[in-house]
Chain A
């Protein structure tokens, strides 16, 4: 197995996450004959077409038929191959949800799903093509691993890592025009282990996907302008969640806000809230995302601004949470 590619700033800025995925898949396929690719008339949009161009005999276009495509992927996995399947997140997690659950997860098959156009990344297309429910759906499927890379570089790392992990993996990326946070893959990506972007003791921001870059920038500004010590965690793996990192944040910062490009119900925020609730420890908590509504139409960056997922939105939310009267747990007697 080859080591991570080194991405130059130029490459990472000029290649989208999906393009980087296409490149990495080609590289992996050179060394691993088991890899096959599938798409549903979105080979170009999802960039798995790069793999198809290089290995036409190992690439299967299912046409616009996602249910059949995920069934085919299950069959190919049963035949000893490792299918990488790419279509839009909404058609994966919703249209073909039962095939992903029953054919792939129930049989614990080695199928790797790279779902593109996640969240509101195809914002102009409207709710038919948004997907703000996939993390909730995929997280509830037993055997499934769920990853939301921060950018194209992390997508490369996640694609490499998922091949080494037996069983189904769901990797959710955007449309591919998102700015990158990472410059190269040498930061030690590991499935199920949060990456600490910045250390801090006042508050912890737990993020995935595009929110990682925005939170990193917000933390820097908050340190300079507000004198706040902000911890930022890149929680790229939604399942299995790095519970230890969350518990550490509860104990050490007592304030947590999650940011994700997803409905506030069922995704990263819910996963983190479950850990906080189970801990039995007091912690100020807020989940920021799409507030249980169908997302507006617009360019993604405008939508991120509207829903408070960009740097300004994160700054405002942190200042709000820091301004709240945070009660220590010994003060609870007056509420009982």
Chain B
């Protein structure tokens, strides 16, 4: 069923709050992968507030859906999502990146409640998703494994090894997102290592390929619904996103892949995030 406008507005409000959190944590941490965290925010909000079966009260609930943030450097965007869902106190994130903190920039599944799989090294998420999905099938469990990939990460050969395996084993219980923000550290993806025609690549590997504006909850939700209806193999949702989304001076700027924020820039960034609502 399509999302109501009221629900979409609620999700937008939540996402704006998460983006402000990301700005705060980036300032507390002294620096973070803010650009890619802002581009993936809406995907995470849709998953955690709308479609994924999660249980913050019982993070190890054996029947929960598994979420793998394969682009683990977006941990600064994942941690506030988990905090706001109630996995832990948001105030703990003031120690992000600090000495002995449970919160490093790449979240550790043994230290952070709600994180199903430790990630950070690119190209590792989808192989582990394949294992989780095979495990679910073998154990007759109904959980879905959600795997969020960065687009630059698709340069890694292990992603395509896993794509081959997901299709070979017809793992319809995996739904993959690609956060297609078109930028990596050294520049545009198409200049550093061209990915296009990306949809054709996934199709050739045997995936059900769906597209959505990665900042439009109605489109993202519709793509998820379509993925769920596809029962003969894995699906991938190519989510067109904007790196630095929501913060005007960061949007589509390569340099904001990683950065720190002074207090005046924190305010400027938050004003920009709030201003989007007014538009």
- B193 interface contact, C-beta 8 A: no
Query: Which of B81-89, B157-165, B237-245 faces chain A?
Result: B157-165
- A326 interface contact, C-beta 8 A: no
- 11 A-B interface contacts by CB (under 8 A): A67-B158, A68-B161, A68-B162, A71-B128, A72-B127, A74-B117, A74-B128, A78-B131, A79-B134, A83-B131, A99-B158
> What chain B residues lie within 8 Å of A3 (beta carbons)?
none
Instruction: Give A residues with C-beta under 8 Å from B.
Output: 36, 57-58, 60, 62-63, 65, 67-81, 83, 98-99, 102-103, 106-108
> What chain A residues lie within 8 Å of B141 (beta carbons)?
79
Whole-angstrom distance between the Cβ of A33 and the nearest chain B Cβ? 9
**Contact: A79 with B118, CB < 8 Å?**
no
**Contact: B134 with A76, CB < 8 Å?**
yes
- B133 interface contact, C-beta 8 A: yes
Whole-angstrom distance between the Cβ of A143 and the nearest chain B Cβ? 10
**Contact: A107 with B127, CB < 8 Å?**
no
Whole-angstrom distance between the Cβ of A81 and the nearest chain B Cβ? 5
Question: In the complex the two chains form, what is the Cα distance from A69 to B128 in whole Å?
Answer: 9
Question: Contacts A67-B157, A67-B158, A81-B139; is A72 near B124 (CB within 8 Å)?
Answer: no
**Contact: A73 with B131, CB < 8 Å?**
yes
0 or 1 for each of B162-173: is its CB under 8 Å from A? (1 = yes): 101100110000
Which residue on chain A has the smallest CB distance to residue B130? A72
Question: In the complex the two chains form, what is the Cα distance from A296 to B124 in whole Å?
Answer: 35
Question: In the complex the two chains form, what is the Cα distance from A80 to B132 in whole Å?
Answer: 9
Q: Which of B108, B109, B124, B165 contacts A62 (CB 8 A)?
A: B165
Secondary structure dominating the interface of B: helix
Question: In the complex the two chains form, what is the Cα distance from A60 to B158 in whole Å?
Answer: 17
**Contact: A78 with B138, CB < 8 Å?**
no
- B66 interface contact, C-beta 8 A: yes
Considering the complex, which residues of chain B in the window 92-140 have a beta carbon less than 8 Å from any beta carbon of chain A?
A: 108-110, 116-118, 120-121, 123-124, 126-136, 138-139
Q: Which of B121, B124, B138, B161 contacts A58 (CB 8 A)?
A: B138
- B197 interface contact, C-beta 8 A: no
Question: In the complex the two chains form, what is the Cα distance from A36 to B129 in whole Å?
Answer: 16
> What chain B residues lie within 8 Å of A108 (beta carbons)?
110
**Contact: A79 with B131, CB < 8 Å?**
yes
Question: In the complex the two chains form, what is the Cα distance from A92 to B138 in whole Å?
Answer: 25
**Contact: B121 with A102, CB < 8 Å?**
yes
- B91 interface contact, C-beta 8 A: no
**Contact: B121 with A75, CB < 8 Å?**
no
Whole-angstrom distance between the Cβ of A77 and the nearest chain B Cβ? 7
Question: In the complex the two chains form, what is the Cα distance from A96 to B158 in whole Å?
Answer: 10
Q: Which of B62, B123, B133 contacts A75 (CB 8 A)?
A: B133
Question: Contacts A65-B164, A71-B162, A75-B132; is A107 near B118 (CB within 8 Å)?
Answer: yes
Question: Contacts A81-B138, A102-B121; is A75 near B131 (CB within 8 Å)?
Answer: yes
Name 11 extra pairs, CB < 8 A, besides A78-B132, A79-B138.
A57-B138, A63-B165, A63-B168, A65-B161, A67-B123, A68-B161, A72-B165, A75-B134, A102-B124, A103-B118, A106-B118
**Contact: B62 with A80, CB < 8 Å?**
yes
Which residue on chain A has the smallest CB distance to residue B168? A63
> What chain B residues lie within 8 Å of A99 (beta carbons)?
124, 127, 158
Whole-angstrom distance between the Cβ of A165 and the nearest chain B Cβ? 18
Question: In the complex the two chains form, what is the Cα distance from A70 to B131 in whole Å?
Answer: 9
